[in-house]
Structure 1
Amino acid sequence: MRGKKHPGIARFGKAALILWGLCLVVECLMSLRDALPAGIIDPDLFLMVGRQTLVALLPRYLGYLAAILIVWACIAYLAVSRPRRRIRRLVTGSRKLTPQQFFQVRRPHGTLAPDFPGIYLIYNADRRRYYVGQAHQVLSRVNQHFTGRGNGDVYADYVAGDTFTIQLLALRGSGYHSLDDFERDAIETTHAYTEGYNKTAGNRPCTRHFIR
């Protein structure tokens, strides 16, 4: 599962910094042209006037730079927090099932709809740990975790008597177009890699790259 990047934010940041630098250079050169006597080329005078010009312009341009960085940071924060808010909203609106309830409603005449693509959140309430996974047949995949054919740590804790809940989130209607994106955001939101059962390298939370 690859890390999610934000090329638009990276391009905005690079363009803003380049524009800031160009404006500073152009204004310095224009100020030097106006300050230096015409037709006189004196390196010492050029350096002296250049330093004075830079000192005069720098406070204003540092203010511009601070504003650029603040706007950039706000955009980056919104880009990171939006998927988390979406996942929390989906999780809050989904039904929680115990494994026993899941087995009951999954039976041929149970209340669950036919198998569907999506993600699932398995939560160990005793250890406060999540396992997040994706599948094109979510019901079948969740069943495997609680019958010894899925995540070994989840099954071991289940057999040991820990209390679990299961939440099923369908890809359809979630706002996501990719199971990978859906799963990745859920893993990051629930801290399933840093604190939960998702310990494989592919589940490592991505570092969202704003500068590449």
Structure 2
Amino acid sequence: ILNVTNIDPDKISIIPHFIKPHQSTDNVEQLDRFVFIGRIAEEKQINHILYAYHNFLKYGFTTKLSIYGRDEFGQQQKVEQLIEELELQDNVEINEFTNNPLLEFQKSKASLLTSSFEGFGLSVMESINVGCPVISYDVRYGPSEIIDHGKNGYLVEQDNISELTKYMKLIIEQPLQNVHTKPELTFESAKQNYKQLFDSIEYSY
């Protein structure tokens, strides 16, 4: 907005997206796996996940990788071909789109995001909201606003596959404890932000 208008920056205020708390299910089976949930599309760069995961396994880990999503423009076939080339057939499973992503996140050690670009990243919020940390490329515009590096996940330099491997290794060796949504992204914070906005413009509600 600032780039294309002459609006005073002091007149612009940003209210972050928010998420309501989710009551985790205590009897969910915990799996030794990473998970990706999203479109199987070129911009998601799932090949980066596979290359990093291939390197991760060289350290002797047995953690699996599960991919959930709908195919777009034949990308799933390319993903499957790369799985075969890297000989990961016994370690990686591809599943159809899930209607219950929160459950799949809750089962997992961490979720992964290697997109070349993102919107706000609802899947990142959902993952953290059920206690599943996120390892994500630090791309514009959402991950850095949602992930508190070292507390509820890790931000990785964009397209840095070796660094992605490093944090996959770290999160298995030293699991993050008490993974929570950042306070400013909670429903209660959003209500307060909107109240302050309406009060500032003297809106009657």
Structure number, greater radius of gyration = 1
Considering fraction of residues, name the structure with more helix: 1
Asked if Structure 1 and Structure 2 have the same fold, meaning a TM-score greater than 0.5 normalized by the shorter chain, the answer is no
TM-score normalised by the chain length of structure 2 = 0.25
TM-score normalised by the chain length of structure 1 = 0.24
Bigger relative CO (Cα 8 Å, ≥ 6 apart): 1
